Homo-oligomer: A and B are copies of this chain.
């Protein structure tokens, strides 16, 4: 006995989602066919639409429907500040702080030589051209504080400083709401080194 061809194909297709294996793909397929055929059609439409309409902003490289994304096109943004993040989700997190008014560059990845991700894959040539447009005063490196994120920040920082730009990195320190007793020593060491003068 075999499952119907259309069902086999759907399961095979759903396996292309990241982290979805044969069991999950089958569960998705059965669920949609049994309980949510409207949802299945909706997902199909949304996929086609997104593939057709989403491209990368020519200035900041984030996902965008227009050639230049809304953020880059906004006249209210400070063009002297450029924040470098790994992904659009990271960009959203920075935006949610409501404490940054500059522009962005989204790498869409991080340096990871073992996975074949080098300077070209994270569009460093475009970042360099963007950062040296004469308007940018400061580049804030906001890649993740993982090994690969740190290496990426270091590499980009070197390149940009060689071009005479002011380069900063997000502060490492004790997270808001945490008790020192439960914070790892490495973080406290960083918080000590980056301590700030109390000046109200």
Q: Which residues of A approach B to under 8 Å, CB–CB? A: 1-7, 9-10, 12-14, 16-19, 26-34, 36-37, 39-54, 63-65, 69-71, 87-89, 91-92, 95, 108
The interface residues of chain B lying within 8 Å CB-to-CB of A6 are: 46, 49-50, 52-54, 65
A13 touching B42 by the CB < 8 A rule? yes
CA distance A31 to B1 in the complex (A): 34
- B10, B16, B31, B71: which contacts A49 (Cβ < 8 A)? B10
CA distance A169 to B161 in the complex (A): 74
- B5, B19, B27, B63: which contacts A18 (Cβ < 8 A)? B27
CA distance A87 to B33 in the complex (A): 12
CA distance A88 to B101 in the complex (A): 54
The interface residues of chain B lying within 8 Å CB-to-CB of A34 are: 108
The interface residues of chain B lying within 8 Å CB-to-CB of A54 are: 4, 6-7, 33
A3 touching B44 by the CB < 8 A rule? no
The interface residues of chain B lying within 8 Å CB-to-CB of A16 are: 32, 36, 39, 42-43
B92 touching A3 by the CB < 8 A rule? yes
CA distance A4 to B91 in the complex (A): 13
Q: How far is the CB of A149 from chain B (nearest CB, A)?
A: 17
The interface residues of chain B lying within 8 Å CB-to-CB of A50 are: 6-7, 9-10, 29, 32-33, 40
The interface residues of chain B lying within 8 Å CB-to-CB of A2 are: 70
CA distance A54 to B47 in the complex (A): 21
A51 touching B31 by the CB < 8 A rule? no
Whether A44 touches B48, Cβ cut-off 8 Å, given contacts A6-B53, A7-B63, A65-B6, is: yes
